[in-house]
């Protein structure tokens, strides 16, 4: 049966074959030499490699650069260079909740910011969603509430400050 160890294609070819073979793009090629251990993410099953972009060298970049830009570019280059590219391969497809689902989630949130596992499971069943999604939804919802609190507090402080002067 399915193991939690998932075989995922590296984005770079290690065998000298072109990156964009049909099989590679469709994720159908066998005999990949390097495999990575990744979390179990069925929705990433047939994910294609993302390819890679070769950045300009420092020299090439500076060659392109005119006098005006040079200071800034040089200044920023050291910090910018060599930072890796995160492609977030295998990210779960964004869930699009229906308005009814949102309304019901909101109505629960109104009375309880922290529904326990039982409630989440029940919601999942009734709304035809995974319990994971419910959990994440409440987490993001709490963050949103907190943001709005911070903002209104900021406005109140600002208002009080202005009125004092």
What is the DSSP secondary structure assignment for residue 83, as one 8-state letter?
Answer: P
Under rule CB under 8 A, residue 30 binds a second copy? no
Alpha carbons 130 and 114: distance in angstroms, whole number: 17
Under rule CB under 7 A, residue 133 binds DNA? yes
Containing H/E element for 107? helix 99-111
Q: How many residues bind a second copy (CB under 8 A)?
A: 80
Under rule CB under 8 A, residue 139 binds a second copy? no
Q: Which of 39, 66, 68, 161 binds DNA (CB under 7 A)?
A: 39
Under rule CB under 8 A, residue 90 binds a second copy? no
Under rule CB under 8 A, residue 129 binds a second copy? no
Contacting DNA within 46-85 (CB under 7 A): none
Spatial neighbors of 106 by CB under 8 A, at least 6 apart, are 141
Containing H/E element for 154? helix 131-163
Q: Which of 1, 79, 84, 88 binds DNA (CB under 7 A)?
A: 88
């Amino acid at each position: 049966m399915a193991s939690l160890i998932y075989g995922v294609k590296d984005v770079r070819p290690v065998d000298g074959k072109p990156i964009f073979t049909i099989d590679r793009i469709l994720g159908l090629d066998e005999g990949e030499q390097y495999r990575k251990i990744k979390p179990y993410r069925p929705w990433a099953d047939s994910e294609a490699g993302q390819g890679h972009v070769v950045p300009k060298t420092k020299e090439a970049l500076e060659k392109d650069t005119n006098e005006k830009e040079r200071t800034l570019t040089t200044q920023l280059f050291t910090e910018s260079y060599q930072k890796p590219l995160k492609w977030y391969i295998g990210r779960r497809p964004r869930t699009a909740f229906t308005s009814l689902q949102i309304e019901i989630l909101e109505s629960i949130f109104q009375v309880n910011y922290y529904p326990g596992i039982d409630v989440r499971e029940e919601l999942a069943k009734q709304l035809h969603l995974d319990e994971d999604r419910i959990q994440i939804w409440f987490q993001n919802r709490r963050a949103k509430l907190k943001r709005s609190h911070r903002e209104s507090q900021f406005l109140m402080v600002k208002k009080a400050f202005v009125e004092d002067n």
